[in-house]
């Protein structure tokens, strides 16, 4: 059986709020082995909500809707689902004490319009909401199951975990699981990754898909099986093959970040790092600082405008881009008293998006010039950040390898 998500709210439709609810629900459905093929976002309009609910029921056995269950006039999800399933609303008087209790705990007075939240489609199963005022509900229709949840993320998650997921497992006899593994690559484009593992992307179980970000391509491996162990076994074989083909382009998996991997490698190798950056405006230092909050391995940075970096570091003028990069990396290492120094500078008179990336490790220096000027500025800088961090990562991997 397949499921579908309907996210309700004009603010979601207009992009004023990011839809984190749908992402959470999708992960939970995958964890219990329920396939998700569609997600729809619709504004606060009763007729349109009813229409997309009917459309969802025509192609999916389980429909989960979030939002529109509050007390205000634009909260019309109850009416819309009632219309879509051909059931009139009925007043559930037994819900009033629950709603009143929430207001008492909050120390506020319940206004009359909150009684709207006690109206549910006839015959609906109540999803009691101890953490909010709006109860959810389940309609078991001949066309399928419609589950309506509050749009407040904390309430939705509580009801999913404590009521909806147990209900779906029992109702549908769900025993299978879908397990997902995300491998992270860096400094390689999506098309290059596809050229290396394209045949694996055509597999049925596990499935392999790509997701591109500036400077990074994620490889998503998903397996469906009767148990976590079997799904993990299916993933393991494909993951090993992906890693074999992509090699050092793979820097981590799942919740690992590139900066976190770099800091961990600094720790393993017993190296400290300082950074001077112009073109990236402190983005590298920000990411490393977040990964090393104690400042034990990343010791500090200098952020300067391109023309001022030589003066700030006391370097002679007129150096070429590679010479300036190497000198800046060495100088920041000396000033901060670290083992390694990284310089990420914008060459003079170079187009926006070009960078000179130099790494000084005390006994040697390496420099590369990269040009991302063909990309929009908002994409070029993240690419430069990733390539610079990757240069440090690869140098540390050489230390680990001996």
* Domain boundary, last residue among 253, 282, 300: 253
**Res 342: pLDDT:** 97
**Res 321: pLDDT:** 85
What dihedral angle (degrees, nearest 10) is formed by the CA atoms of 103, 108, 113, 114? -10
Q: What is the CATH number of the domain that holds 248?
A: 3.30.70.2860
* Domain boundary, last residue among 215, 236, 253: 253
The mean pLDDT of 241-262, rounded to a whole number, is 96
Residues 141 and 213 in one domain: no
**Res 306: pLDDT:** 66
Residues 7 and 80 in one domain: yes
Where would I find the H helices in 4-74?
10-13, 20-31, 46-59
> For 150-192, what is each residue's pLDDT tens digit?
999 999 999 999 999 999 999 998 877 788 899 999 999 899 9
Q: What is the CATH number of the domain that holds 123?
A: 3.40.980.10
Residues 79 and 128 in one domain: yes
Cα–Cα separations (whole angstroms), residue 387 to 192, 315, 377: 16, 25, 15
DSSP annotation of 300? E
Domain limits for position 202 = 177-253
Residues 15 and 153 in one domain: yes
pLDDT over 80 at 351, yes or no: no
Residues 139 and 207 in one domain: no
User: Which one is predicted more confidently, 281 or 240?
Assistant: 240
pTM of the model: 0.71
Spatial separation of the C-alpha atoms in residues 333 and 21, rounded to whole Å:
45
Residue 367: what are its φ and ψ, rounded to 5°? Answer: -145, 140
Residues 245 and 379 in one domain: no
Give the total number of structural domains in the chain: 3
Quick one: tokens of 196?
């290396």
Residues 146 and 26 in one domain: yes
- Name which of 21-35, 55-69, 279-293, 371-385 the model is least confident about: 371-385
* Domain boundary, last residue among 195, 227, 253: 253
pLDDT over 90 at 392, yes or no: yes
């Amino acid at each position: 059986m397949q499921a579908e998500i309907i996210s309700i709210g004009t603010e979601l439709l207009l992009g004023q709020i990011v839809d984190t609810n749908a992402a959470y629900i999708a992960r939970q459905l995958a964890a219990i082995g329920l396939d998700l093929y569609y997600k729809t976002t619709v504004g606060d309009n009763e007729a349109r909500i009813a229409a997309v609910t009917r459309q969802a029921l025509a192609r999916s056995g389980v429909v989960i809707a979030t939002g529109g269950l509050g007390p205000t006039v634009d909260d019309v999800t109850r009416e819309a689902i009632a219309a879509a399933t051909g059931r009139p609303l009925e007043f559930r008087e037994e819900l009033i004490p629950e709603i009143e209790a929430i207001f008492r705990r909050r120390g506020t007075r319940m206004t009359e319009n909150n009684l709207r939240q006690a109206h549910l489609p006839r015959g609906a199963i109540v999803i009691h909401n101890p953490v909010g005022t709006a109860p959810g509900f389940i309609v078991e229709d001949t066309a399928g199951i419609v589950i309506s949840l509050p749009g407040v993320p904390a309430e939705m998650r509580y009801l999913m975990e404590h009521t909806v997921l147990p209900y779906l497992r029992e109702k549908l006899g769900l025993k299978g699981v879908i397990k997902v593994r995300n491998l992270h690559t860096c400094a390689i484009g999506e098309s290059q990754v596809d050229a290396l593992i394209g045949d694996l992307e055509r597999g049925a179980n596990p499935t392999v898909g790509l997701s591109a970000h500036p400077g990074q391509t994620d490889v998503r491996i998903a397996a469906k099986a009767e148990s976590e162990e079997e799904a993990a076994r299916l993933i393991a074989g494909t993951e090993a093959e992906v890693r074999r083909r992509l090699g050092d382009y793979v820097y981590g998996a799942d919740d690992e970040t590139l900066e976190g991997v770099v800091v961990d490698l600094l720790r393993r190798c017993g190296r400290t790092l300082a950074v001077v950056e112009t073109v990236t405006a402190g983005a590298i230092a920000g990411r490393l600082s977040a990964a090393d909050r104690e400042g034990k391995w990343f010791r500090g940075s200098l952020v300067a405008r391109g023309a001022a970096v030589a003066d700030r570091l006391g370097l002679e003028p007129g150096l070429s881009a590679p010479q300036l990069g190497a000198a800046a990396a060495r100088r920041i290492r000396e000033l901060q008293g670290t083992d390694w120094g990284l310089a990420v500078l914008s060459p003079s008179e170079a187009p926006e998006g070009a960078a000179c990336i130099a790494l000084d490790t005390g006994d040697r220096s390496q420099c590369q010039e990269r040009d991302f000027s063909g990309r929009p500025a908002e994409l070029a800088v993240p690419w430069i950040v990733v390539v610079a961090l990757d240069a440090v990562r690869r140098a540390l991997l050489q230390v680990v390898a001996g």
